[in-house]
Amino acid sequence: MAKLKPYFQDFWRYRPLLHNLISRDIKVKYRRSALGIIWSVLNPLLMMIVMYVVFSEIFNMAQLSRGEISVNFAAYLLTGQLVYNFFSEATQMAMSSVLGSAPLIKKVYIPKYLFPLEKVAFSFVNTMFSLIALVLVLAVTRTPIHVTIGLFWVPLVILFVFNFGVGLLLAAATVFFRDIMHLYGVLVMALMYLTPIMYDVSILPGWALKFIPFNPLYWFVSMFRGFVIYGEMPSLNCWIGTCGSAIVALLVGLFAFKKTQDRFVLYI
């Protein structure tokens, strides 16, 4: 714990900088946009509509059932999309955060882990705005509201920790191996299809089901859907899958980042 104390002190000291960096990214992203931050709501909504039309009409997936609970495919699809989009955006932005901040890093001392952290925090803010789209879809599809929906934030906070750990690892690795930025894009796309976002896990063949538990995103999507649309509390396996993944990712990311950060200035 004593070894972590300097990190907490640095974080507290540089809180205003973190806030300013997040504000800057929001302004830059929506600069000269007529609708501004409303796009955080429209983007997931429009993507959901496109995917809903394709899968509900062509593959006849307008409704999904789990036992006696029947859920509109639009709500099912958007809950998976929001979790995946948070992971994808946060980790890809964190990956290039150190390289993108090279001029600042070379001029003044700033704890370097603040840059991946800021990107993950910025993505988290975007995700919070995107939840407005989910509320609209739940209302339009008349999806039953359960008491557990009040816990929607739990998987997102755990996913924040997971994203930060992965982001630290990617940011450190990308400084030395720029090809990771291209390879990771392919991996993220593969994860979209390997995670039950657009389909129910029950349709997978037996051999594929054996590999599903090794996909951390599966557990995050399952927990979020359980709270929001199924009214279910997570199973023990789900807690282990989400919290275990987050802790391992954070520890590995912190270790890799701390080991390499002193050499960043030679490569950026």
pLDDT tens digits, 60-117: 565 565 655 667 888 899 999 999 999 999 999 999 999 988 888 888 888 889 999 9
| Positive or negative: CA dihedral 144, 145, 149, 152 | positive
Per-residue pLDDT band at 165 (split at 50, 70, 90): very high
Among candidate residues 37, 10, 15, 13, the one with its CA nearest the CA of residue 26: 37
Q: Is 35 left (phi over 0), alpha (psi -120 to 50) or beta?
A: alpha
Backbone phi, psi, residue 70, to 5° = -115, 130
Q: Specify the DSSP class assigned to residue 57.
A: I
Of 11-20, 72-81, 133-142, 192-201, least confident by mean pLDDT is 11-20
The share of the chain scoring above pLDDT 90, in percent, equals 48
Contacts of 93 (CB under 8 A, 6+ apart): 119, 120, 122, 123, 167
What's the whole-number mean pLDDT along residues 47-70?
Answer: 66
Which comes out higher in pLDDT, residue 114 or 23?
114
Tokens of 128: 């919070």
Looking at residue 54, its pLDDT comes to: 73
Say if residue 53's pLDDT is above 80.
no
Do residues 72 and 62 lie in contact, with contact meaning Cβ atoms separated by under 8 Å? yes
pTM, two decimal places:
0.90
Q: Which amino acid is at 34?
A: A
Which comes out higher in pLDDT, residue 154 or 198?
154
Say if residue 43's pLDDT is above 70.
yes
Output the average pLDDT for the chain: 86
Q: Specify the DSSP class assigned to residue 263.
A: G
Do residues 75 and 138 lie in contact, with contact meaning Cβ atoms separated by under 8 Å? yes
* Interatomic CA distance for residues 33 and 172, integer angstroms: 33
Do residues 191 and 217 lie in contact, with contact meaning Cβ atoms separated by under 8 Å? yes
